[in-house]
Structures are given as C-alpha cells and as structure tokens.
Amino acid sequence: TTAPLVLDVVLPAGRSFDAVIPAGHNAFAYVYGGGVVTIGEGVGSPHSARVESERMAILTNDAAADGVRLMAETDARVLLVAGAPLNEPIAQHGPFVMNTTAELHQAVADFQRGALAR
C-alpha cells in the first residue's frame, strides 16, 4: 500500500497548519488559491520556501523530516499530497503511465482502438 495522504487545506491569512508526513514519503504541496504560502520541510525546520498561487513545491522525503508546516501570508488554499514511493520503473508518454515500454505501447494501442472507453 502507498499509504496516501490527500489534504485540502484552507488557511486564513497569518495562520499555519502542521501536517505529519511519514519519513520517506514523497510529497508535494500545490497552492491553488489565495496568496503566498511559506512551506517549511519538517515541523520547526529552518528550511522553507515561498510558494505563490498556482505553483507547486516538491517536498523532501528525508528520513529525518517529520512533516511540513504551511504558513499563509494571505488567505490561501493548498492541496497537500503524500504517499510511500512505489519503487517501480516508470514508462510515460502523454497521459499514459505504465511500468514498462511494452505496457505503454499496449495502453496507447488500446486507447487508439477505443478499448479504454468501455
């Protein structure tokens, strides 16, 4: 299991939100509404980045990190997504993502003949 975490965070101006993200998880935060959000990797971490609306931050999956702190300079909405790495190969073309090139070719062929729309 990938132990997914998906949070839609509403932050009033001047407020913060701490989220625990398990060590080693991949994570990102997408600011999709409002103003600038400062994202600190690891609650209480001195490392941070300012992220403006319609921008995304890829968070560290450092084993020492215990989560993330989001701080809103103005009212903001943030999508926070995390999960355990799959540790599998990835083959990608357009909207198709598979594990191997052969699977990718099959998915494209299935799409072209309409087999995915059933």
Please give the mean pLDDT across all residues of the chain.
87
The whole-angstrom separation of Cα 86 and Cα 108 is: 23
The answer on pLDDT for 41 being more than 80 is: no
Structure pTM?
A: 0.76
Q: Kindly state whether residues 113 and 78 are assigned to the same domain.
A: no
Rounded average pLDDT over 42-53? 71
Percentage of the chain beyond pLDDT 70 is 92
Sheet of 55-59, strands arranged across: 5-11, 76-83, 26-34, 55-59
> How far is Cα 89 from Cα 100, in angstroms, rounded to an integer?
7
Q: What percent of the chain has pLDDT over 90?
A: 53
Pair (60, 106) in one structural domain = no
Structure tokens at 61: 């999956």
Q: Are residues 16 and 72 in the same domain?
A: yes
How many domains is the chain partitioned into structurally? 2
Q: How confident is the model at residue 46 (pLDDT cuts 50, 70, 90)?
A: low
Q: What pLDDT is recorded for position 65?
A: 72
**Residue 100 and residue 42 share a domain:** no
> Which residue range is the domain that position 38 belongs to?
5-83
